[in-house]
Structure 1
Amino acid sequence: MIDEKELLPRILHGDLKAFEVLVKQYQGLVFHVVNRIINTKEDKEDICQEVFMKVHQHLHRFEYKSKLSTWIARIAYVTAINYCKKYSSDNIVAHPADIENYSFTEENPGKLLDKKDVTEYINRLIAQMPEQYRTVLTLFHLNEFSYQEIAEITGMPEGTVKSYLFRGRKLLKEKLSVYLKNELS
Protein backbone atom coordinates (compact mmCIF):
# COMPACT_ATOMS: atom_id res chain seq x y z
CA MET A 1 0.00 0.00 0.00
CA ILE A 2 1.27 3.45 -0.84
CA ASP A 3 1.44 6.46 1.42
CA GLU A 4 -0.74 8.88 -0.52
CA LYS A 5 0.28 11.95 1.49
CA GLU A 6 3.91 11.31 0.57
CA LEU A 7 3.32 10.18 -3.02
CA LEU A 8 0.96 12.90 -4.24
CA PRO A 9 3.29 15.86 -3.59
CA ARG A 10 6.04 14.01 -5.47
CA ILE A 11 3.71 13.54 -8.45
CA LEU A 12 2.66 17.18 -8.32
CA HIS A 13 6.34 18.15 -8.49
CA GLY A 14 6.84 16.14 -11.68
CA ASP A 15 8.10 12.79 -10.34
CA LEU A 16 7.07 10.35 -13.08
CA LYS A 17 8.23 7.32 -11.08
CA ALA A 18 5.82 8.32 -8.31
CA PHE A 19 2.99 8.57 -10.85
CA GLU A 20 3.95 5.14 -12.17
CA VAL A 21 3.56 3.77 -8.62
CA LEU A 22 0.11 5.37 -8.41
CA VAL A 23 -0.92 3.86 -11.76
CA LYS A 24 0.25 0.39 -10.71
CA GLN A 25 -1.61 0.71 -7.41
CA TYR A 26 -4.94 1.73 -8.99
CA GLN A 27 -4.94 0.20 -12.48
CA GLY A 28 -6.95 -2.81 -11.27
CA LEU A 29 -9.60 -0.58 -9.74
CA VAL A 30 -9.85 1.57 -12.86
CA PHE A 31 -10.09 -1.48 -15.10
CA HIS A 32 -12.84 -3.02 -12.94
CA VAL A 33 -14.92 0.15 -13.05
CA VAL A 34 -14.44 0.70 -16.79
CA ASN A 35 -14.83 -3.00 -17.63
CA ARG A 36 -18.32 -3.12 -16.12
CA ILE A 37 -19.51 -0.17 -18.22
CA ILE A 38 -17.74 -0.48 -21.58
CA ASN A 39 -18.17 -3.45 -23.93
CA THR A 40 -15.29 -3.29 -26.41
CA LYS A 41 -11.69 -4.13 -25.49
CA GLU A 42 -10.13 -1.28 -27.45
CA ASP A 43 -12.45 1.26 -25.87
CA LYS A 44 -11.71 -0.12 -22.39
CA GLU A 45 -7.98 0.37 -22.93
CA ASP A 46 -8.44 3.88 -24.31
CA ILE A 47 -10.70 4.90 -21.44
CA CYS A 48 -8.34 3.50 -18.80
CA GLN A 49 -5.53 5.58 -20.30
CA GLU A 50 -7.77 8.62 -20.40
CA VAL A 51 -8.68 8.11 -16.74
CA PHE A 52 -5.04 8.18 -15.66
CA MET A 53 -4.38 11.23 -17.83
CA LYS A 54 -7.26 12.98 -16.04
CA VAL A 55 -5.98 11.81 -12.65
CA HIS A 56 -2.57 13.31 -13.44
CA GLN A 57 -4.05 16.49 -14.86
CA HIS A 58 -6.41 17.10 -11.92
CA LEU A 59 -4.42 15.66 -9.02
CA HIS A 60 -3.91 19.15 -7.62
CA ARG A 61 -7.68 19.26 -6.98
CA PHE A 62 -7.68 16.21 -4.71
CA GLU A 63 -8.31 17.48 -1.17
CA TYR A 64 -8.25 14.29 0.95
CA LYS A 65 -11.99 14.66 1.71
CA SER A 66 -12.41 11.08 0.48
CA LYS A 67 -10.04 8.22 -0.16
CA LEU A 68 -7.85 8.56 -3.22
CA SER A 69 -9.30 5.28 -4.50
CA THR A 70 -12.81 6.74 -4.31
CA TRP A 71 -11.72 9.85 -6.19
CA ILE A 72 -10.00 7.80 -8.91
CA ALA A 73 -12.96 5.41 -9.20
CA ARG A 74 -15.26 8.42 -9.63
CA ILE A 75 -13.09 9.71 -12.48
CA ALA A 76 -13.16 6.24 -14.09
CA TYR A 77 -16.93 5.98 -13.74
CA VAL A 78 -17.67 9.45 -15.12
CA THR A 79 -15.18 9.05 -17.97
CA ALA A 80 -16.69 5.71 -19.03
CA ILE A 81 -20.28 6.99 -18.81
CA ASN A 82 -19.42 10.15 -20.76
CA TYR A 83 -17.69 8.07 -23.42
CA CYS A 84 -20.81 5.94 -23.83
CA LYS A 85 -23.05 8.97 -24.09
CA LYS A 86 -20.75 10.66 -26.58
CA TYR A 87 -19.84 7.84 -28.94
CA SER A 88 -22.37 5.08 -28.97
CA SER A 89 -25.46 3.73 -27.33
CA ASP A 90 -24.14 0.26 -28.25
CA ASN A 91 -21.39 0.61 -25.66
CA ILE A 92 -23.71 0.84 -22.68
CA VAL A 93 -26.11 -1.82 -21.49
CA ALA A 94 -29.79 -1.27 -20.74
CA HIS A 95 -30.90 1.26 -18.14
CA PRO A 96 -32.41 -0.17 -14.92
CA ALA A 97 -35.74 1.47 -15.71
CA ASP A 98 -36.06 -1.19 -18.40
CA ILE A 99 -35.44 -4.03 -15.95
CA GLU A 100 -38.91 -5.55 -16.27
CA ASN A 101 -38.28 -6.04 -19.99
CA TYR A 102 -34.72 -7.17 -19.46
CA SER A 103 -33.67 -10.73 -20.26
CA PHE A 104 -30.53 -12.67 -19.61
CA THR A 105 -29.07 -15.21 -21.99
CA GLU A 106 -31.59 -17.98 -22.43
CA GLU A 107 -28.92 -20.65 -22.73
CA ASN A 108 -29.26 -23.56 -20.33
CA PRO A 109 -26.68 -22.86 -17.62
CA GLY A 110 -26.25 -26.58 -16.92
CA LYS A 111 -25.06 -27.14 -20.47
CA LEU A 112 -22.80 -24.10 -20.44
CA LEU A 113 -20.73 -24.98 -17.45
CA ASP A 114 -19.63 -27.40 -14.85
CA LYS A 115 -18.97 -26.64 -11.18
CA LYS A 116 -15.59 -25.01 -11.87
CA ASP A 117 -17.26 -22.40 -14.04
CA VAL A 118 -19.70 -20.92 -11.52
CA THR A 119 -17.59 -17.78 -11.15
CA GLU A 120 -17.42 -17.35 -14.91
CA TYR A 121 -21.19 -17.82 -15.11
CA ILE A 122 -21.76 -15.21 -12.39
CA ASN A 123 -19.45 -12.78 -14.21
CA ARG A 124 -21.36 -13.43 -17.43
CA LEU A 125 -24.66 -12.72 -15.66
CA ILE A 126 -23.27 -9.51 -14.19
CA ALA A 127 -21.98 -8.45 -17.62
CA GLN A 128 -25.51 -8.81 -19.00
CA MET A 129 -27.05 -6.63 -16.30
CA PRO A 130 -27.94 -2.98 -16.75
CA GLU A 131 -24.92 -0.72 -16.32
CA GLN A 132 -25.96 0.79 -12.98
CA TYR A 133 -26.52 -2.64 -11.38
CA ARG A 134 -23.22 -3.91 -12.78
CA THR A 135 -21.35 -0.90 -11.48
CA VAL A 136 -22.85 -0.97 -7.99
CA LEU A 137 -22.35 -4.75 -7.62
CA THR A 138 -18.76 -4.48 -8.80
CA LEU A 139 -17.86 -1.52 -6.61
CA PHE A 140 -19.46 -3.08 -3.53
CA HIS A 141 -18.46 -6.73 -3.83
CA LEU A 142 -15.26 -6.70 -5.87
CA ASN A 143 -13.77 -3.37 -4.87
CA GLU A 144 -15.28 -3.36 -1.36
CA PHE A 145 -16.44 0.26 -1.41
CA SER A 146 -19.03 1.38 1.15
CA TYR A 147 -22.49 2.64 0.16
CA GLN A 148 -21.31 6.20 0.80
CA GLU A 149 -18.20 5.76 -1.35
CA ILE A 150 -20.25 4.25 -4.19
CA ALA A 151 -22.63 7.19 -3.94
CA GLU A 152 -19.65 9.57 -4.26
CA ILE A 153 -18.23 7.65 -7.21
CA THR A 154 -21.47 7.35 -9.17
CA GLY A 155 -23.17 10.56 -8.10
CA MET A 156 -26.24 8.54 -7.06
CA PRO A 157 -27.98 9.07 -3.72
CA GLU A 158 -26.98 6.46 -1.14
CA GLY A 159 -30.55 5.09 -1.09
CA THR A 160 -30.39 4.50 -4.84
CA VAL A 161 -27.09 2.66 -4.43
CA LYS A 162 -28.70 0.38 -1.84
CA SER A 163 -31.73 -0.15 -4.07
CA TYR A 164 -29.63 -1.05 -7.14
CA LEU A 165 -27.51 -3.37 -5.02
CA PHE A 166 -30.62 -5.10 -3.67
CA ARG A 167 -32.20 -5.45 -7.12
CA GLY A 168 -28.94 -6.60 -8.70
CA ARG A 169 -28.48 -9.27 -6.05
CA LYS A 170 -32.10 -10.35 -6.49
CA LEU A 171 -31.59 -10.78 -10.25
CA LEU A 172 -28.41 -12.77 -9.67
CA LYS A 173 -30.12 -14.94 -7.07
CA GLU A 174 -32.97 -15.74 -9.47
CA LYS A 175 -30.61 -16.73 -12.28
CA LEU A 176 -28.32 -18.69 -9.96
CA SER A 177 -31.23 -20.64 -8.53
CA VAL A 178 -32.00 -21.86 -12.06
CA TYR A 179 -28.37 -22.88 -12.44
CA LEU A 180 -28.31 -24.68 -9.10
CA LYS A 181 -31.55 -26.56 -9.85
CA ASN A 182 -30.09 -27.76 -13.14
CA GLU A 183 -26.78 -28.60 -11.47
CA LEU A 184 -28.44 -30.68 -8.75
CA SER A 185 -30.79 -32.49 -11.15
Structure 2
Amino acid sequence: MNFVETRLAKLARNGDRAAFTELVELYKDKIFHLAYRMLNNKQEAQDAVQETFLRVYMNLHRYDDKQKLSTWIFRIGTNHCIDLLRKRKNRTYSLDAEIPDGEGNDFYSMLQSYEPTPENQVIVSETQMQIRRAIDSLSEKYKTVVILRYLHDMSLQEISEILDMPVTTVKTRVHRGRAYLKLKLEQEPDLQDA
Protein backbone atom coordinates (compact mmCIF):
# COMPACT_ATOMS: atom_id res chain seq x y z
CA MET A 1 0.00 0.00 0.00
CA ASN A 2 1.41 3.36 -1.00
CA PHE A 3 1.40 5.69 2.01
CA VAL A 4 1.47 8.84 -0.13
CA GLU A 5 -1.57 7.70 -2.15
CA THR A 6 -3.51 6.84 1.00
CA ARG A 7 -2.64 10.16 2.64
CA LEU A 8 -3.61 12.14 -0.48
CA ALA A 9 -6.89 10.24 -0.73
CA LYS A 10 -7.73 10.98 2.91
CA LEU A 11 -6.87 14.67 2.52
CA ALA A 12 -8.87 14.92 -0.72
CA ARG A 13 -11.82 13.15 0.93
CA ASN A 14 -11.75 15.86 3.63
CA GLY A 15 -11.96 18.62 1.00
CA ASP A 16 -8.27 19.38 0.39
CA ARG A 17 -8.29 20.51 -3.23
CA ALA A 18 -4.49 20.61 -3.46
CA ALA A 19 -4.34 16.94 -2.45
CA PHE A 20 -6.91 16.02 -5.09
CA THR A 21 -4.98 18.03 -7.71
CA GLU A 22 -1.88 16.07 -6.76
CA LEU A 23 -3.78 12.79 -7.23
CA VAL A 24 -4.89 13.93 -10.66
CA GLU A 25 -1.29 14.82 -11.56
CA LEU A 26 -0.11 11.38 -10.42
CA TYR A 27 -2.57 9.45 -12.58
CA LYS A 28 -3.86 11.63 -15.43
CA ASP A 29 -1.24 10.49 -17.96
CA LYS A 30 -1.73 6.82 -17.11
CA ILE A 31 -5.51 7.14 -17.43
CA PHE A 32 -5.10 9.05 -20.70
CA HIS A 33 -2.93 6.25 -22.15
CA LEU A 34 -5.43 3.64 -20.99
CA ALA A 35 -8.36 5.58 -22.47
CA TYR A 36 -6.52 6.31 -25.73
CA ARG A 37 -5.63 2.64 -26.17
CA MET A 38 -9.20 1.58 -25.50
CA LEU A 39 -11.02 4.31 -27.45
CA ASN A 40 -8.46 5.03 -30.20
CA ASN A 41 -9.47 8.68 -30.21
CA LYS A 42 -7.46 11.49 -28.60
CA GLN A 43 -10.42 13.79 -27.88
CA GLU A 44 -12.52 10.97 -26.41
CA ALA A 45 -9.53 9.90 -24.31
CA GLN A 46 -9.08 13.43 -22.96
CA ASP A 47 -12.79 13.59 -22.16
CA ALA A 48 -12.56 10.17 -20.50
CA VAL A 49 -9.75 11.41 -18.25
CA GLN A 50 -11.86 14.36 -17.13
CA GLU A 51 -14.89 12.14 -16.53
CA THR A 52 -12.79 9.59 -14.67
CA PHE A 53 -11.44 12.17 -12.24
CA LEU A 54 -14.86 13.76 -11.84
CA ARG A 55 -16.15 10.32 -10.82
CA VAL A 56 -13.14 9.79 -8.55
CA TYR A 57 -13.85 13.12 -6.84
CA MET A 58 -17.57 12.44 -6.50
CA ASN A 59 -16.93 8.97 -5.05
CA LEU A 60 -13.93 9.55 -2.80
CA HIS A 61 -16.18 8.79 0.17
CA ARG A 62 -16.56 5.25 -1.24
CA TYR A 63 -12.84 4.58 -1.59
CA ASP A 64 -11.72 1.76 0.70
CA ASP A 65 -8.28 2.53 2.18
CA LYS A 66 -7.50 -1.20 2.20
CA GLN A 67 -7.20 -1.33 -1.59
CA LYS A 68 -4.65 0.38 -3.81
CA LEU A 69 -5.81 3.81 -4.91
CA SER A 70 -4.34 3.27 -8.37
CA THR A 71 -6.42 0.11 -8.81
CA TRP A 72 -9.57 1.96 -7.79
CA ILE A 73 -8.85 4.85 -10.19
CA PHE A 74 -8.04 2.44 -13.04
CA ARG A 75 -11.30 0.58 -12.37
CA ILE A 76 -13.28 3.81 -12.69
CA GLY A 77 -11.43 4.78 -15.89
CA THR A 78 -11.70 1.33 -17.43
CA ASN A 79 -15.40 1.03 -16.67
CA HIS A 80 -16.05 4.45 -18.15
CA CYS A 81 -14.20 3.52 -21.36
CA ILE A 82 -16.09 0.22 -21.59
CA ASP A 83 -19.37 2.15 -21.25
CA LEU A 84 -18.28 4.50 -24.05
CA LEU A 85 -17.36 1.56 -26.29
CA ARG A 86 -20.77 -0.03 -25.67
CA LYS A 87 -22.54 3.22 -26.50
CA ARG A 88 -20.40 3.60 -29.61
CA LYS A 89 -21.31 0.09 -30.74
CA ASN A 90 -25.02 0.80 -30.34
CA ARG A 91 -24.97 4.07 -32.28
CA THR A 92 -25.92 4.12 -35.92
CA TYR A 93 -25.13 7.03 -38.19
CA SER A 94 -25.87 7.94 -41.71
CA LEU A 95 -22.69 9.34 -43.19
CA ASP A 96 -24.77 11.72 -45.29
CA ALA A 97 -26.61 13.14 -42.27
CA GLU A 98 -25.74 16.65 -41.30
CA ILE A 99 -24.13 17.05 -37.89
CA PRO A 100 -26.22 19.10 -35.46
CA ASP A 101 -24.46 22.45 -34.96
CA GLY A 102 -21.85 21.22 -37.42
CA GLU A 103 -22.11 24.29 -39.65
CA GLY A 104 -23.27 22.28 -42.64
CA ASN A 105 -20.72 19.47 -42.27
CA ASP A 106 -21.77 15.87 -42.69
CA PHE A 107 -20.27 12.79 -41.07
CA TYR A 108 -18.03 12.14 -44.09
CA SER A 109 -16.10 15.29 -43.29
CA MET A 110 -15.63 14.11 -39.69
CA LEU A 111 -14.10 10.72 -40.55
CA GLN A 112 -10.59 10.34 -39.20
CA SER A 113 -7.92 10.15 -41.84
CA TYR A 114 -5.73 7.08 -41.63
CA GLU A 115 -3.04 8.74 -43.70
CA PRO A 116 0.00 8.99 -41.44
CA THR A 117 1.48 12.44 -40.98
CA PRO A 118 5.22 12.89 -41.52
CA GLU A 119 5.62 13.17 -37.75
CA ASN A 120 3.76 9.89 -37.19
CA GLN A 121 5.84 8.17 -39.84
CA VAL A 122 8.95 9.02 -37.86
CA ILE A 123 7.50 8.20 -34.44
CA VAL A 124 5.49 5.07 -35.18
CA SER A 125 7.06 2.17 -37.01
CA GLU A 126 5.05 -0.05 -39.32
CA THR A 127 5.31 -2.92 -36.85
CA GLN A 128 3.82 -0.79 -34.08
CA MET A 129 0.97 0.22 -36.36
CA GLN A 130 0.27 -3.41 -37.20
CA ILE A 131 0.25 -4.35 -33.53
CA ARG A 132 -2.05 -1.42 -32.81
CA ARG A 133 -4.46 -2.53 -35.55
CA ALA A 134 -4.40 -6.06 -34.20
CA ILE A 135 -5.18 -4.84 -30.68
CA ASP A 136 -7.95 -2.61 -32.02
CA SER A 137 -9.51 -5.61 -33.75
CA LEU A 138 -9.87 -7.50 -30.46
CA SER A 139 -13.33 -7.74 -28.96
CA GLU A 140 -13.94 -5.49 -25.97
CA LYS A 141 -13.45 -8.22 -23.34
CA TYR A 142 -10.05 -9.24 -24.71
CA LYS A 143 -8.90 -5.76 -25.69
CA THR A 144 -9.28 -4.41 -22.15
CA VAL A 145 -7.23 -7.16 -20.48
CA VAL A 146 -4.54 -7.10 -23.18
CA ILE A 147 -4.13 -3.32 -22.83
CA LEU A 148 -3.97 -3.50 -19.04
CA ARG A 149 -1.58 -6.49 -19.06
CA TYR A 150 0.84 -5.61 -21.84
CA LEU A 151 0.61 -1.85 -22.32
CA HIS A 152 0.23 -0.95 -18.63
CA ASP A 153 2.24 -3.91 -17.33
CA MET A 154 -0.34 -4.82 -14.69
CA SER A 155 -0.43 -8.13 -12.89
CA LEU A 156 -3.32 -10.54 -13.34
CA GLN A 157 -4.36 -9.76 -9.76
CA GLU A 158 -4.44 -5.99 -10.43
CA ILE A 159 -6.50 -6.53 -13.58
CA SER A 160 -8.82 -8.81 -11.61
CA GLU A 161 -9.38 -6.04 -9.06
CA ILE A 162 -9.88 -3.35 -11.71
CA LEU A 163 -12.38 -5.38 -13.73
CA ASP A 164 -13.92 -7.03 -10.67
CA MET A 165 -13.62 -10.54 -12.07
CA PRO A 166 -11.83 -13.70 -10.96
CA VAL A 167 -8.12 -14.00 -11.71
CA THR A 168 -8.81 -17.22 -13.62
CA THR A 169 -11.14 -15.34 -15.98
CA VAL A 170 -8.54 -12.63 -16.48
CA LYS A 171 -5.88 -15.26 -17.17
CA THR A 172 -8.11 -16.97 -19.74
CA ARG A 173 -8.90 -13.68 -21.48
CA VAL A 174 -5.24 -12.66 -21.57
CA HIS A 175 -4.32 -16.06 -23.04
CA ARG A 176 -7.08 -15.93 -25.68
CA GLY A 177 -6.38 -12.29 -26.53
CA ARG A 178 -2.66 -13.05 -26.93
CA ALA A 179 -3.46 -16.09 -29.11
CA TYR A 180 -5.72 -13.97 -31.31
CA LEU A 181 -3.04 -11.28 -31.62
CA LYS A 182 -0.43 -13.88 -32.55
CA LEU A 183 -2.70 -15.31 -35.24
CA LYS A 184 -3.56 -11.86 -36.55
CA LEU A 185 0.08 -10.74 -36.64
CA GLU A 186 1.20 -13.95 -38.37
CA GLN A 187 -1.22 -13.06 -41.16
CA GLU A 188 0.47 -9.65 -41.64
CA PRO A 189 2.73 -10.02 -44.70
CA ASP A 190 5.28 -7.39 -43.60
CA LEU A 191 5.95 -9.17 -40.30
CA GLN A 192 6.54 -12.51 -41.99
CA ASP A 193 9.27 -11.03 -44.16
CA ALA A 194 11.10 -9.46 -41.21
Change (3 A) 1:45 1:149: same
2:35, 2:78 within 8 Å by CA — same for their partners in 1?
yes
The Cα shift of 1:123 comes to 1.9
**Matches of 2:155 and 2:67 in 1, distance apart?**
12
Give the alignment's TM-score, normalised by structure 2.
0.71
Tell which deviates more after alignment, 47-56 or 142-151: 142-151
**Matches of 1:127 and 1:2 in 2, distance apart?**
36
The runs of 5 or more residues in structure 1 that have no matched partner are 92-112
Residue 182 of structure 1 corresponds to 193
Name the SS of the counterpart of 2:53 in structure 1. helix
Which letter maps to 1:48?
Answer: V
The Cα shift of 1:142 comes to 1.9
**Matches of 2:150 and 2:7 in 1, distance apart?**
29
The Cα shift of 1:143 comes to 1.6
1:36, 1:131 within 8 Å by CA — same for their partners in 2?
no
CA RMSD in angstroms comes to 2.6
Residue 7 of structure 1 corresponds to 8
Name the SS of the counterpart of 1:88 in structure 2. helix
Which residues of 2 match residues 80-99 of structure 1 at below 5 A?
80-85=81-86, 87-89=87-89
2:127, 2:191 within 8 Å by CA — same for their partners in 1?
no
The Cα shift of 1:175 comes to 2.9
2:6, 2:69 within 8 Å by CA — same for their partners in 1?
no
Tell which deviates more after alignment, 24-33 or 115-124: 115-124
Residue 96 of structure 1 corresponds to none
Residue 55 of structure 2 corresponds to 54
2:32, 2:48 within 8 Å by CA — same for their partners in 1?
no
The Cα shift of 1:12 comes to 2.0
Q: Give me the identity figure in percent.
A: 38
Which letter maps to 1:135?
Answer: T
Name the SS of the counterpart of 1:64 in structure 2. coil
**Matches of 1:125 and 1:67 in 2, distance apart?**
31
2:38, 2:147 within 8 Å by CA — same for their partners in 1?
no
1:136, 1:164 within 8 Å by CA — same for their partners in 2?
yes
Residue 17 of structure 1 corresponds to 18
Which letter maps to 2:143?
Answer: R
- Higher Cα Rg, which structure: 2
The Cα shift of 1:2 comes to 7.7
The Cα shift of 1:35 comes to 2.4
Which letter maps to 2:62?
Answer: R
The runs of 5 or more residues in structure 2 that have no matched partner are 92-120
The Cα shift of 1:36 comes to 3.4
Tell which deviates more after alignment, 64-73 or 150-159: 150-159
The Cα shift of 1:56 comes to 0.9
Give the alignment's TM-score, normalised by structure 1.
0.74
Residue 36 of structure 1 corresponds to 37
- 1:81-105 Cα distance to aligned partner (Å, 9 max, x none): 22344x43168xxxxxxxxxxxxxx
Residue 100 of structure 1 corresponds to none
For these two proteins, the number of residue pairs brought into alignment is 161
Name the SS of the counterpart of 2:59 in structure 1. helix
1:36, 1:134 within 8 Å by CA — same for their partners in 2?
no
- 1:36-73 Cα distance to aligned partner (Å, 9 max, x none): 33244433222221110010111122112321111111
Change (3 A) 1:14 1:80: same
Tell which deviates more after alignment, 56-65 or 38-47: 38-47
In the alignment, which of 121, 135, 138 is matched to residue 129 of structure 1?
A: 138
1:47, 1:80 within 8 Å by CA — same for their partners in 2?
yes
